[in-house]
């Protein structure tokens, strides 16, 4: 009774708060809260799960003309992984302390996400044909994980309607990301070097959207971590990520961004940590303006107890954009997590960023005989986002949770929409600002 009373108080706390990834809360890191599993062999474990959620979406269409909708989500999933820890049990019951030759994890989640709204025509794209069904799958492996040279690899495939930037990308899409790399630990592991290659492919089902936004990126990175003290390390990272749009009428331009930064991360005191990264970034684009400037990420971490951690930080970076070549994001973020009695998890993630878009005056011609022209050449947005999650581990196989997500884009930017057909409709203006609230209650059975 005490556990359920704590859960009830948590729900009241979240509901009293004034009103963004994967579709379900448990999919974000389900390997950290899985059940005991089914032993397949001396080193393999099968995990099964089924989650259901009901909720409310204040802006299903991700635009200024918000369409409210109720939602139902059902998610079965299967994970297979090597057993955690360095010691595994042999089939005959003996203990094998030898270092494993390989670690891997494979998982598939298939979710059903249905929208119910009075304006059925506005949410038709979410529910028609196969759109209510999504897939979240991954495969990760490490060969010789405890050797001086380890092979890293993996691939993820996600089919979802979740947006990339805002309403223009709230379309059914396929995201495929294979990765291959190495972890090199010379000198006993004090220094770690990780070169990696990642292919990022994004394809839209809607051909009218795909001709503008289908793309792939080649990402090459080099990460180093050098322990200068037992709890402090110098870190550096260099990432080169050329992006190519391969649609027949791509409105976006190919980009060649390069980021590099150097800094330190660690613990200064038993309950106080830090992260300080400073770097330089350049972005080359086939037309219009390029980017060149300082980037960085700084944060402080407070460890209040064994089950409570607060992170507060500031960040400056630049990102490729659908609307302009890029935008510069400057702002702050915070994360708080606490576990009560080993069963009740409370977490909060929040951020506020100013996005300053590069100068652009591009007119987009849509397939439905309409053109979209920006009303001004300068665009500054303020993005406010936070997520609150509460999950109660009622037993080894059953959990209950509640989540609240809020997203708001504050901007005075607008576009003019013209009908270019033979019988044109009146000209309209589209306001780019919008806000969105998601509230879900759910339960998950996991083994």
CA angle 181–186–192, rounded 5-degree value: 50
Looking at the structure, give the CATH architecture of the domain made up of residues 147-446. Beta Barrel (2.40)
Residue 182 has pLDDT above 90, yes or no: yes
For the chain, the first-to-last Cα distance in angstroms comes to 23
How many CB atoms within 10 Å of residue 293?
12
Please tell me whether residue 165 adopts helix, strand or coil conformation: coil
Confidence band, pLDDT 50/70/90 cuts, at residue 170: low
What is the rounded average pLDDT of the residues 124-133?
Answer: 75
Residue 365 has pLDDT above 80, yes or no: no
Rounded Cα distance, 395 and 23, in Å: 24
DSSP 129: T
Rounded Cα distance, 24 and 112, in Å: 11
Work out the percent of the chain whose per-residue pLDDT is above 70.
79
Q: How far is CA 403 from the centre of its chain?
A: 16
Instruction: Answer yes or no: are the C-beta atoms of 433 and 411 closer than 8 Å.
Output: yes
- DSSP lists the bridge partners of residue 138 as 107, 156
Q: What is this structure's pTM?
A: 0.81
**Tens digit of pLDDT for each residue in 254-270?**
899 999 999 999 998 88
**Tens digit of pLDDT for each residue in 188-208?**
779 999 999 999 999 888 777
**Tens digit of pLDDT for each residue in 66-100?**
889 999 999 999 999 987 554 344 444 444 555 67
Residue 334 has pLDDT above 60, yes or no: yes
**Tens digit of pLDDT for each residue in 1-38?**
444 444 444 433 333 333 333 446 556 655 555 677 88
Q: Is 103 left (phi over 0), alpha (psi -120 to 50) or beta?
A: beta
What is the rounded average pLDDT of the residues 152-163?
Answer: 86
Instruction: Answer yes or no: are the C-beta atoms of 246 and 234 closer than 8 Å.
Output: no
In this prediction, residue 95 carries a pLDDT of 46
Residue 43, C-beta contacts closer than 8 angstroms, at least 6 positions apart: 82, 83, 88, 100
How many CB atoms within 10 Å of residue 289?
13
- Strand order across the beta sheet in which 428-431 lies: 364-366, 370-374, 414-419, 428-431
Q: Cα dihedral angle (116, 122, 128, 130), rounded to 10 degrees?
A: -80
Q: Is 322 left (phi over 0), alpha (psi -120 to 50) or beta?
A: alpha
Rounded Cα distance, 277 and 268, in Å: 16
In this prediction, residue 90 carries a pLDDT of 47
Work out the percent of the chain whose per-residue pLDDT is above 90.
49
Rounded Cα distance, 294 and 352, in Å: 19
- Token look-up 């209040």 returns 304
Residue 209, C-beta contacts closer than 8 angstroms, at least 6 positions apart: 168, 169, 171
Rounded Cα distance, 441 and 59, in Å: 18
Six token digits for residue 99: 């270092």
């Amino acid at each position: 009774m005490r556990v359920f009373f704590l859960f009830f108080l948590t729900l009241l706390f979240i509901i009293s708060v004034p009103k963004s990834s994967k579709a379900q809360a448990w999919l974000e890191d389900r390997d950290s809260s899985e059940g005991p599993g089914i032993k397949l062999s001396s080193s393999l474990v099968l995990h099964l799960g089924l989650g259901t959620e009901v909720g409310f979406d204040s802006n299903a269409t991700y635009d200024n003309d918000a369409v409210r909708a109720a939602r139902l989500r059902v998610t079965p999933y299967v994970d297979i992984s090597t057993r955690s820890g360095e010691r595994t049990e042999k089939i005959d019951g003996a203990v094998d302390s030898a270092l494993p030759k390989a670690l891997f994890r494979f998982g598939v989640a298939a979710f059903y996400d249905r929208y119910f709204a009075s304006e059925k025509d506005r949410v038709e794209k979410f529910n028609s044909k196969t759109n209510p069904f999504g897939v979240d799958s991954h495969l990760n492996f490490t060969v010789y994980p405890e050797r001086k040279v380890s092979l890293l690899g993996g691939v993820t495939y996600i089919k979802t309607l979740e947006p990339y930037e805002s309403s223009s990308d709230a379309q059914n899409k396929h995201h495929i990301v294979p990765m291959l790399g190495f972890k090199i630990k010379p000198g006993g592991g004090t220094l770690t070097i990780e070169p990696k290659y990642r292919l990022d492919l994004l394809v839209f089902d809607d051909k009218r959207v795909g001709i503008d936004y289908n793309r792939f990126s080649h990402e090459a990175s080099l990460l180093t971590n050098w322990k200068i003290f037992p709890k402090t390390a110098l870190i550096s990272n260099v990432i080169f990520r050329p992006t190519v749009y391969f649609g027949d009428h791509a409105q976006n331009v190919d980009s060649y961004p390069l980021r590099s930064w150097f800094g330190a991360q660690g613990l200064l005191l038993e309950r106080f940590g830090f992260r300080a990264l400073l770097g330089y970034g350049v972005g080359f684009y086939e037309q219009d303006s390029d980017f060149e400037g300082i980037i960085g990420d700084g944060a402080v971490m407070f460890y209040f107890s064994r089950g409570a951690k607060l992170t507060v930080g500031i960040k400056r970076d630049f990102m490729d954009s659908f609307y302009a070549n890029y935008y510069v994001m400057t702002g702050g973020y915070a994360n708080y997590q606490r576990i009560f009695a080993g069963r009740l998890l409370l977490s909060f993630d929040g951020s506020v960023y100013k996005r300053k878009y590069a100068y652009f005056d591009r007119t987009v011609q849509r397939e439905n005989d309409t053109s979209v022209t920006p009303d001004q050449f300068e665009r500054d947005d303020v993005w406010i986002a936070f997520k609150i999650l509460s999950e109660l581990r009622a037993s080894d196989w059953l959990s209950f949770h509640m989540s609240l997500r809020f997203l708001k884009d504050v901007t005075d930017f607008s576009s003019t929409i013209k009908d270019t057909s033979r019988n044109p409709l009146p000209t309209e203006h589209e306001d780019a600002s919008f806000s969105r609230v998601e509230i879900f209650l759910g339960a998950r059975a996991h083994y």
